[in-house]
Chain A
């Protein structure tokens, strides 16, 4: 099945096309989510959410870019939103703690997150991983997509909707920042 045909059949919600999309791209989506969230459960849940979003919004896909580019874009945006929401939840948790409202008093649904997940699901992160997560958001996205996902500058530019020179600059600054952060830790 060619990509154009796959897109057409996805828009028609053809089960065979959906099966193919999930089989072909699930590792891509999962690894991007996990790269940002560092939590297997969250990455698994978010991957499912992303595929459901794709299923519901397939008719919006114009076909200008490759399916993988579209999926990368959705995965990066959803992962960043998830992290922002986790930070908000953590902020309100801290506020609650400040005013003496314990977690047991509140009957909120369990939402595993980067910060609150138990040790079994949140991995021990390496120095490099921590240093990458401390980079400014755009540098982190560009660096992750280029060095970990091994996408070309042009592909990263398309996913981030930035120019090629902007991506080069972001990756260069990311490398410099990592060098500054890690040089002394490594030695």
Chain B
């Protein structure tokens, strides 16, 4: 990151107005890029820290911390990264192919699967009907039984009528026979 000479000049002018204003310099310290080393520090800031022990301590600690972070950054590329990536991409492709193959197999088997499903559905339907018949049969029996009972009752009633008719007939014809 490069700062133009005009920007540097502006900063200097701004800071000259507050030569001992530590807040300005403290913010300036936290504005330093992490790759900054002591020699790269801005002249105005260097002048200030030469007079202010508090800011000097802050600058030194901050430079040390920044250097520590910068040193942790990798500077040598991993020579095997490209090969690792290639093998991962190939693995991903073969996995995708396998999943596509299994999907294709399912699709190819679909007529068989559909027939099996239809057979199962038909079986369930037949079974259901049968079960329903078994379940409804007592109702039918009771209905026919009722019909039979009513028929018997009717028959009995007829008998009753015939009996009563016979009785009446006998009673009617009994008197003339008995002198």
Is B one of A's binding partners? yes
Q: How far is the CB of B69 from chain A (nearest CB, A)?
A: 6
Which of B62, B75, B92 is the one whose CB lies under 8 Å from A186?
A: B62
For the complex, what is the distance from the CA of A151 to the CA of B1, rounded to whole Å? 6
A residues with CB within 8 A of B:
18-19, 22-23, 26-27, 30-31, 34-35, 44, 47-48, 51-52, 55, 123, 126-129, 146-148, 150-152, 175-176, 178-179, 182-183, 186-187
A-B contact count (CB 8 A): 85
- What class of interface size applies to chain B in its complex with A? 20 to 34
Contact of A123 among B61, B65, B72 (CB under 8 A): B72
CA distance A44 to B27 in the complex (A): 34
Given contacts A152-B1, A179-B26, contact A186 B77 (CB under 8 A): no
Report whether over half of chain A's contact residues are helix, strand or loop; otherwise say mixed.
helix
Chain B residues whose CB sits within 8 angstroms of the CB of A23 once the complex forms: 77, 82
Contact, CB under 8 Å: A150 / B33: yes
Q: Does B81 contact A (CB under 8 A)?
A: yes
Please report which residues of chain B, range 15-72, place their CB below 8 angstroms from some CB of chain A when the two chains form the complex: 26-27, 30-35, 54, 57-58, 61-62, 65-66, 68-70, 72
A176 to B78, CA, bound (A): 37
> Would you give the shortest CB distance from A181 to chain B, in whole angstroms?
10
Residue from B31, B35, B72 within 8 A of A175 (CB atoms): B31
State which of B83-91, B123-131, B158-166 sits at the interface with chain A: B83-91
CA distance A179 to B58 in the complex (A): 10
Docked pose: A156 CA to B31 CA in angstroms: 15
Whether A147 and B77, one on each chain, are in contact in the complex, defined by CB atoms closer than 8 angstroms, is no
Interfacial chain A residues near B69, Cβ < 8 Å: 126, 128-129, 148
> Which residue of chain A is the closest to B85 with respect to CB atoms?
A51
Flag if A147 contacts B61 (CB, 8 Å).
Answer: no
